[in-house]
């Protein structure tokens, strides 16, 4: 009987040991699973942040001949190019922020290569008074350095795409990033009027929302984009359409 009792006790002990080992294995497995999930979440978040930060490219505008039009419009590119792409946009407009990626590609493919010019007009919609203010700051940056206007133009879109555009001090902070005088720019904004000029021009051309894209052939008036029987008089114009129109202008 004693032997049987001892064997039974040994069996119970072995069973408990096995159960304890099984519990530890389950715990270790759970820890591994949690670790994998945490890593996956971190990678996912990093990917989101990376994609958001990379949506606005860094472009070197120094060799692209930044100028101002007769009415102050912001223009970049070869003065001899046969066509100018004219965009009316608002830094704070979500559709404009998405479309900015295509506009940057257009600049790299056709403006930097001398085939087209690009003209930017500020037309506040979703951004409201913040865009009126940003436009005034941008104009005053251009007064000091026309090329830096285009760097600020990209930075304002970047701020908007990351949700910082409407934060206090974000817009004027770009002035300091560019190494310009904050006080001089602020003084200048009190008399800036380019946003008003751009809005009046847009309304006269029939612009009612942003983004709106037109083209100008040579020194002619801005007009809606027409291609393959379609007139694009509302919203963004697909990159492929703009590319085709630019190539046609260069071929003719």
From CA 98, how far away is CA 85, in angstroms rounded? 18
- DSSP state letter for 220: S
Q: Per-residue confidence at 58, pLDDT binned at 50, 70, 90?
A: confident
Q: What is the pLDDT of residue 252?
A: 87
- Beta-carbon count within 10 A of 61 CB: 20
Q: What number is the average pLDDT over the span 53-67? A: 82
Look at residues 81, 99, 89 and name the one whose alpha carbon lies nearest to residue 249.
Answer: 81
Would you say residue 34 has pLDDT above 90?
A: no
Q: What number is the average pLDDT over the span 214-221? A: 96
Q: Which residue has the higher pLDDT, 49 or 202?
A: 202
Q: What number is the average pLDDT over the span 193-222? A: 97
The pTM is what?
A: 0.78
Q: Per-residue confidence at 57, pLDDT binned at 50, 70, 90?
A: confident
Residue pair 174/60 in contact (Cβ under 8 Å)? The answer is no
According to CATH, the superfamily of the domain at 66-251 is: Glutaredoxin (3.40.30.10)
Count of residues making up the chain: 252
Helix (H, G, I), strand (E, B) or coil at 231: strand
């Amino acid at each position: 009987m004693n032997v049987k009792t001892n064997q039974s006790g040994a069996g119970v002990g072995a069973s408990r040991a096995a159960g304890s080992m099984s519990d530890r294995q389950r715990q270790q497995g759970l820890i591994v699973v949690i670790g994998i999930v945490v890593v996956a979440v971190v990678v996912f978040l990093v990917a989101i942040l990376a994609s958001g930060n990379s949506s606005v490219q860094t472009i070197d505008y120094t060799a692209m001949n930044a100028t101002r039009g007769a009415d102050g419009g912001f223009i970049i590119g070869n003065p001899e190019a046969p066509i100018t792409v004219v965009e009316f946009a608002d830094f704070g407009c979500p559709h404009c922020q998405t479309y900015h990626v295509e506009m940057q590609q257009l600049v790299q493919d056709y403006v930097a290569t001398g085939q087209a010019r690009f003209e930017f007009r500020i037309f506040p919609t979703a951004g409201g008074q913040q865009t009126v203010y940003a436009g005034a700051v941008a104009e005053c940056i251009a007064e000091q350095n026309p090329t830096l206007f285009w760097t600020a133009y990209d930075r304002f879109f970047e701020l908007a795409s990351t949700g910082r555009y409407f934060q206090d001090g974000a817009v004027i902070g770009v002035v300091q990033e560019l190494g310009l005088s904050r006080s001089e720019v602020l003084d200048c904004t009190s008399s800036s009027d380019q946003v008003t000029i751009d809005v009046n021009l847009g309304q006269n051309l029939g612009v009612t929302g942003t983004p709106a894209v037109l083209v100008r052939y040579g020194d002619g008036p801005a007009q809606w984009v027409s291609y393959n029987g379609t007139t694009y008089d509302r919203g963004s114009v697909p990159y492929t359409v703009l590319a085709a129109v630019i190539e046609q202008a260069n071929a003719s």
